Amino acid sequence: MSVFKVIGTVFGLAGVALIVPALVLAWNTQSFRSAASRAGGVVVAGDGSHEASPRPVVRFSLPNGDEVQIVGDVRSTPPAYEVGEKVDVLYDPAAPRQARIDSILEMWFIPLLLGALGLVFAAIGLAFLLWLLYRSRQVAWLKANGRRLQAKIQQVTLDTRVRANRRHPYRIVGEWLDAGTNTVHIFESEMLWFDPSRYLTRETIDVLYDPANLRRYWVDTSFLPKVSE
């Protein structure tokens, strides 16, 4: 459980760390657009060359006749603009050389990229934390209302489906025969981050289950020693 909490927290914080600068950049971009002057420009080259290349070079004229040349912020392959293509330019009259091309790619690419990545990370973190909350409530319900059975310990397995800090967790696997239906049920414990084999001094392990659904169960490993933090 603690591993899922750590993973959920890390992904959630990473998501926030990306979303916050995305919002700041979006706010700054919108503020710039609201206050900036507009001019018509033309792509004269690509990043210092004489042909189109990943970053466009744009030239535009100020109201006083001075010409300003700027380089776009975003690289793209194939190039987003061709030499000779006309584009709109936004600039601060007090700092015209910091002008920007008025396009979604130039204005919004970085905020959108950071925001999208942030949302993905935050969603993953939230999913882990919600699952942890759901499982914690389910175990609490089973402890209060579940029925108890003794499953015969079959083995201790290494769960290679999960990996954290280059380690795989262990699980205790138990087996129980439902004599009424002549059906064998297999139960797996929660993840254990140490090998419990040496501490299994019994042949059976307690399992709490939902009488209405045997797939809702919890293997009681509280008899095992605790792992130091």
Helix axes 104-145, 2-35, angle to 10 degrees: 150
Instruction: Note the pLDDT of residue 192.
Output: 93
Residue 183 to residue 177: CA distance in whole angstroms: 6
pLDDT tens per residue across span 151-173? 999 999 999 988 878 889 999 99
CA distance 11 to 18: 11
List, for residues 172-199, the tens digit of each pLDDT value: 999 999 998 999 999 999 999 999 999 9
- In degrees, rounded to 5, the angle at the alpha carbon of residue 134 between the alpha carbons of residues 128 and 138 is 140
- DSSP, collapsed to helix, strand or coil, labels residue 39 as strand
CATH code for 2-110?
2.40.50
Q: What is the pLDDT of residues 4-24, one digit of tens each?
A: 788 899 999 999 999 999 999
Distance CA 149, CA 206 (A): 6
Q: What is the mean pLDDT of the chain?
A: 91
Greater model confidence, 41 or 229: 41
